[in-house]
Amino acid sequence: MKMNRLGKSDINISALTLGCMSLGTDKNNAKNIIDFALDMGINHLDTADLYDFGLNEEIVGEAIKDKRNQLIITTKVGNHFNKESNDWYWDPSKSYIKAEVKESLKRLQTDYIDFYMLHGGTMDDPIDETIEAFEELKQEGIIRSYGISSIRPNVIREYVKKSSIDGVMTQYSLLDRRPEEETLDLLHQNNISVLARGPLAKGLLSNQAQKIVATKGKEGYIDYTGSELTRIVNKLTEQSTEVTNLALQYVLQHPVVATAVFGASSIEQVAENSKVDTEIPLTDKDYLALKEITKANRYKQHR
């Protein structure tokens, strides 16, 4: 498994990341999935305080407590939630971030977080105050590095200009090429890594794509209609029976992308996704051929 440096930090993460939101609530099953991911060379786990209202962090913490030094842990903050009433509201304030990080540390059974992300963000946020909170946590040694999880180009540009973020998690796939137009090159120029989430587009770009397009894909995806998705998946399948590999290699091709983040609820899913050879990039010919199959869509909202 290829390892890539996260921005300007001293953190190296695997080219594939296990997104933990889909692990479920069975602690033994979650531990088995995480252990298997480790065996496949994945060293990076992504969770968030909001996932199952803290339970996901607890499950991850229990699963990794004996192997903490082998892993890079990412979690997120900004959704002020109430576990009892199962509701939340957006809160990027300095006071909430500095209080909530302590709760995440407890749930994760660790005394530091490798990479801490703001779980969203808008132009109406007190951005300077938010950055101040993360910078202080970094100086205090509670976090090693920080970034944001966002698909909003304007927000991303603000953090590039004002902060020392090392990474941006953003949705990016063959079916969602919007970051190519506005953010990938900007982040690359500023030595800020991209963590590409949704690289398999809810399974529409997996080895089960034809079956998924025939069911969930009927409603379309972003600015693609159901019939367009069927056409694309048929073309991808003609190019390779390993559609999952094509999809993952495509997002990893851009030099700014440090890792592709996929969710998994079973060992089988981790095994399928881990078959991709992260050391060997696509040829220029194959990369351009994939670009011809899909379209360079653009952000119409999310400003």
- CA dist list (Å): 43 to 39, 72, 280: 9, 6, 19
What's at 206, amino acid-wise? S
Structure tokens at 245: 């590999």
Q: Which residues are marked as active site?
A: 51
Terminal-residue alpha carbon distance, the chain: 35
Q: 3-202+251-279 has which fold? A: TIM Barrel (3.20.20)
45 closest CA partner among 268, 272, 259, 266 = 259
Distance CA 143, CA 80 (A): 19
This prediction's pTM: 0.95
What's at 153, amino acid-wise? P
229 closest CA partner among 251, 250, 211 = 211
Q: For residue 246, what is the enclosing H or E element?
A: helix 243-253
pLDDT in tens, the chain (303 residues): 999 999 999 999 999 999 999 999 999 999 999 999 999 999 999 999 988 888 999 999 999 999 999 999 999 999 887 877 778 889 999 999 999 999 999 999 999 999 999 999 999 999 999 999 999 999 999 999 999 999 999 999 999 999 999 999 999 999 999 999 999 999 999 999 999 999 999 999 999 999 999 998 889 999 999 999 999 999 999 989 899 999 999 999 999 999 999 999 999 999 999 999 999 999 999 999 999 999 999 888 776
